[in-house]
Chain A
Amino acid sequence: MDKKTLIRLEKLNQLSLTESEEAAALDFFARRGNQAEALNGINTDDTERMVHVMPMTNVIREDKQSKVFTRDQLLEGAPESMDGYWQVPRLVD
């Protein structure tokens, strides 16, 4: 991974690393990339990917209302709220 890619990923993930963190990240990713090379030593052309480790069956349940949280309860954890709504900066000028 090069620095340009790293900066693109930072933007994509809403993160901003310092220069020293970026240097550490590039080293970290280089080591992980080298180690992951070992996986290419195994031919998996005829191997299906494994998404679930255990057999999965679709879960179907009755469509009925269970516990419902109130507006006030949901806003208890909000960093900022106003008049019963989450408060955010102006999105449109």
Chain B
Amino acid sequence: MNKYITKAAESAAKAVVLDDMILTVGMPTTAGSKMLDGYNSLFESEAVTKLKSAGYGIAGKANTGEFGLDFLGETSHFGACADESGNLISGCAAAINDGDAFAAVSLDTNGTPRRAAALAGLTCLKPTYGTVSRYGIVPAACSGEAVSVTAKCAADVAEVADCIIAHDFKDGTSLPEEVCNSIKGNIKQGEFKKVAVIKNLVDSADSDTQAKIASACTALNNSGIATEEINDEILPLSQSAWFILMSAEACNNISRYDGIKFGYRSPNYKNIDELYTNSRTEAFGLLTKLTVLYGSECLSDDNYMPVYDKAMRIRRVISEHLNSLFEKYDALLLPACSKTAYSEDEVKSDIDTAYNESLYTAPASISGVPAVACAGVQFIGKALSDKVLLGLAQICEKEA
């Protein structure tokens, strides 16, 4: 199964499992990478501090893909986490489904927690960017990654999310306290009118996923919420634009791992250049290396304006486009991934899987808006509509 990298010695009554991108004291934090194998942080993340203050225990550190860049943990240095059928499952999702943990707190860099929840029948909230502190996470793509919460149902997600949503002066991107407080409290009920179904993205998924979208529509309609199919040509642009921005930011963030101050150091070197190169080459997996190299190319003198700057302008186009959609709709309904199961072998044999599947998760990542994965589907809403999305999730959970 391979769900944990580190399991807590004692289990708490109400325990939360952390993915291994979240810094802890007393348990190593590896980010799924050989580079950080055995690394012990001197401080813990703000989210962990808040969870402990609220009385939650920590079940352990769940297996995660290297720096959260992959599809579903397949690039972990410690081996992927798969179920008995050989299908990938995230370590966090496995810990919840096995009853080890009440909820999971994980870092959504490239959509992994959302697709993990969709595949495992769980509910996951990627909150509005800036409402949960990113202090004490292993950073890869700072401008879009968000600390997320997964649990068996929307009510449990809301309970844990309310515990970690807060302004934090240690995080320069943290939203003001009054803004964070505005999304705490009860899940919104009965305030919904219309949800847009992104037909072209639904059509690109397999028939089982389309059936889940249809079930979600039925559940919404039965609750008096209208659904309207729309074709949207802007949202798919998120995929390329987010990959450019994520790669560029990952290139910078991952440059800190040099084998000098902490982390893995190759035993094979004769001089400082060989120390750097061999340490990084031996420690990183192929997807991480390709992401770093692509990000470096996007930031090069020749490509900065036509590629990186272009992606940042496209980010505004997408963000403004989403805002215009949210004037007409309470939320957007789309898949979280294109299938309902993925074998470890098929994902490992195709290095494009993470990129291809980010078609569904990149719109929320690049724009910072909240997203909820539940009942095998995904809702995206306007900024700070987190509890509206969890309300929609509850409706789908009842019918599922």
* Residues of chain A at the chain B interface (Cβ within 8 Å): 1, 5-6, 9-10, 12-17, 21, 24-25, 28-29, 31-32, 35-36, 38-40, 42, 44, 47-54, 56-57, 59, 61, 67, 69, 73-74, 76-80, 86, 88-91
Contact = CB atoms under 8 A, between A and B. Distances in A.
B313 A54 contact: no
A24 B367 CA distance: 30
Interface residues of B, number: 69
A88 B262 contact: no
Contact of A35 (B143, B239, B258): B239
B336 interface: no
Given A25-B290, A28-B290, A77-B40, A89 B297 contact: no
Interface in B278-296: 278, 280-281, 284, 286, 289-290, 292-294, 296
B312 A77 contact: no
A48 B316 contact: yes
A39 B237 contact: yes
Interface stretch (B112-120, B265-273, B338-346): B265-273
B297 A39 contact: no
Nearest to A17: B289
Contacts of B352: 28, 31
30 contacts: A6-B293, A9-B297, A10-B293, A12-B296, A13-B251, A15-B280, A16-B277, A17-B281, A24-B351, A25-B293, A28-B351, A29-B293, A36-B243, A38-B237, A39-B237, A39-B310, A39-B314, A44-B313, A49-B309, A49-B313, A50-B313, A50-B319, A53-B319, A53-B368, A59-B169, A59-B172, A67-B43, A79-B260, A90-B271, A91-B272
Contacts of B40: 76-77
A53 B143 contact: yes
Determine which residue in A52, A86, A90 has the highest number of CB atoms from chain B within 10 A of its CB, and name it: A52
B39 interface: yes
Contacts of B270: 89
Contacts of A74: 42
A13 B42 contact: no
Report, nearest first, the 6 A-B pairs whose CB atoms are least far apart. A53-B368, A79-B265, A77-B262, A49-B312, A44-B313, A50-B316
Interface in B352-386: 352, 355, 366-368, 383
A15 B279 CA distance: 9
Nearest to B274: A89
Nearest to A34: B240
B78 to A, nearest CB: 19
B263 interface: yes
Contacts of B310: 39-40, 44
A49 B96 CA distance: 40
Contacts, number: 152
Nearest to A56: B173
A19 to B, nearest CB: 13
A56 B171 CA distance: 11
Interface string B319-339: 100000000000000000000
Given A48-B316, A53-B319, A88-B260, A15 B383 contact: no
Determine which residue in A17, A32, A89 has the highest number of CB atoms from chain B within 10 A of its CB, and name it: A32
Contacts of A5: 297
Contacts of B272: 88-89, 91
A71 to B, nearest CB: 12
Contacts of B355: 32
Given A29-B290, A44-B317, 7 more contacts: A13-B251, A29-B297, A54-B368, A57-B176, A59-B169, A69-B42, A79-B259
A77 B261 contact: yes
Contact of A54 (B129, B258, B275, B316): B129
Contacts of B164: none
Given A9-B293, A10-B293, A36-B244, A42 B265 contact: no
B314 A42 contact: yes
Nearest to B307: A36
Interface string B222-236: 000000000000001
A12 B273 CA distance: 11
Contacts of A73: 42
Determine which residue in A31, A39, A59 has the highest number of CB atoms from chain B within 10 A of its CB, and name it: A39
A32 B40 CA distance: 36
Given A52-B173, A79-B263, A39 B319 contact: no
B192 interface: no
A51 B271 CA distance: 39
